[in-house]
């Protein structure tokens, strides 16, 4: 059993804790607010909790699960309490900007990103089994200690996640396509609908919205903090993806404007075929 510490007990930190305590690991949780620490203990997400960073002392593996913009500062603050040989990992949705700083702070650092989430945030929506069947990306570099990588890999595998490994920059370019671009597209979809100038039509559209709109608007209706942090910390890759998306939309608009229905059909056939390649490994 590894002695685990989780810093930041929200959706991801809390969900990790629920699984890791279930598998018998002693898990100490460190929250910013005392109420969060108490709630985590009460729901069994941790076996010990508090607000003092010194609680990480003695941990074998530390998961930093704070919002993206607090990860490096949190790592710097806990490093003095860690024993030599301790492994540090994070779960942040961007890697290229964070990993070099984190590796400089702690030699036993391994970048990670479990690709599971929800529209809501916070400990209250944490869920056991959240990572089951989902991709869990590890982003080692030439500086990564092989034994540290192996220990994080073993824990991630124990969650039932599908492990994947790539360079931090490759991670950021890939998630720009399948995670960060969809948030911006979905948000724009909702706001474009809201731009309908006839209040009666707008009200009717809101009444008629059903499963299609529910699917396509889900990530645009998520917590704004996470989307803003994605854009801020993965700006270049997201801008590239948005440019390509705009180009694609313009092409489709031209085909519809010129009534080129064969080309519209061909475009939609290509997207229908391509979609399955992205979702073939999904179990739920």
Region of 66-74, 128-136, 198-206, 276-284 interacting with ligand NAP (CB under 6 A): 66-74
> What mask of x and - would describe binding to ligand NAP in positions 14 to 43, judged by CB under 6 A?
-----------------xxx--x-------
Taking CB positions, which residue lies at the least distance from ligand NAP? 10
Rule CB under 6 A: say whether 129 interacts with ligand NAP: no
78-107 residues in contact with ligand NAP (CB under 6 A) are 91-93
Closer by beta carbon to ligand NAP, 5 or else 195: 5
Residue selected from 21, 47, 74, 139 as contacting ligand NAP according to rule CB under 6 A: 74
Residue selected from 43, 70, 76, 264 as contacting ligand NAP according to rule CB under 6 A: 70
Region of 7-15, 150-158, 180-188, 254-262 interacting with ligand NAP (CB under 6 A): 7-15
Output the smallest distance, CB 24 to ligand NAP, in A: 23
Region of 61-69, 188-196, 209-217, 235-243 interacting with ligand NAP (CB under 6 A): 61-69
* DSSP characters over the chain: ---EEEE--SHHHHHHHHHHHHTT--EEEE-SSHHHHHHHHHTTS-SEEES-GGGGTT-SEEEE-S-GGGHHHHHHHHGGGPPTT-EEEE--S--TTTHHHHHHH-TTEE-EEE----SS-SGGG--TTTTTTSEEEE---TT--HHHHHHHHHHHHHTT-EEEE--HHHHHHHHIIIIIHHHHHHHHHHHHHHT-S-HHHHHHHHHH--HHHHHHHTGGGS-HHHHHHHHHHSHHHHHHHHHHHHHHHHHHHHHHHTT-HHHHHHHHHHHHHHHHHHHTT---
Interface residue list for ligand NAP (CB under 6 A): 8-13, 31-33, 36, 65-68, 70, 74, 91-93, 113-114, 117, 121-123, 226
């Amino acid at each position: 059993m590894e002695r685990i510490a989780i810093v930041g007990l929200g959706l991801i930190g809390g969900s990790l804790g629920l699984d890791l305590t279930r598998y018998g690991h002693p898990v100490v949780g460190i929250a910013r607010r005392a109420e969060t620490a108490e709630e985590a203990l009460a729901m069994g997400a941790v076996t010990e909790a508090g607000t003092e960073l010194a609680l990480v002392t003695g941990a074998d593996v530390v998961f930093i699960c704070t919002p993206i913009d607090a990860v490096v500062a949190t790592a710097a603050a806990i490093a003095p309490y860690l024993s030599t040989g301790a492994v540090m990992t994070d779960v942040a949705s961007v890697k290229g900007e964070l990993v070099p700083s984190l590796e400089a702070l702690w030699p036993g650092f391994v970048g990670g990103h479990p690709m599971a989430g929800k529209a809501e945030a916070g400990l209250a929506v944490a869920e056991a089994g959240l990572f089951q069947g989902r991709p869990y990306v590890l982003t080692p570099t030439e500086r990564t200690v092989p034994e540290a990588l192996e220990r994080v890999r073993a824990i991630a595998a124990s969650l039932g996640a599908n492990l994947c490994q790539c360079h931090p920059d490759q991670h950021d370019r890939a998630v720009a396509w399948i995670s960060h671009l969809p948030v911006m597209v979905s948000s724009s979809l909702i706001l474009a609908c809201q731009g309908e100038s006839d209040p009666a039509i707008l009200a009717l559209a809101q009444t008629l919205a059903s499963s299609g709109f529910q699917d396509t608007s889900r990530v645009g209706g998520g917590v704004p903090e996470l989307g803003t942090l994605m854009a801020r910390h993965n700006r270049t890759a997201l801008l590239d993806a948005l440019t390509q998306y705009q180009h694609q939309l313009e092409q489709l608009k031209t085909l519809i404007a010129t009534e080129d229905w064969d080309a519209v059909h061909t475009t939609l056939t290509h997207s229908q075929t391509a979609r399955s390649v992205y979702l073939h490994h999904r179990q739920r």
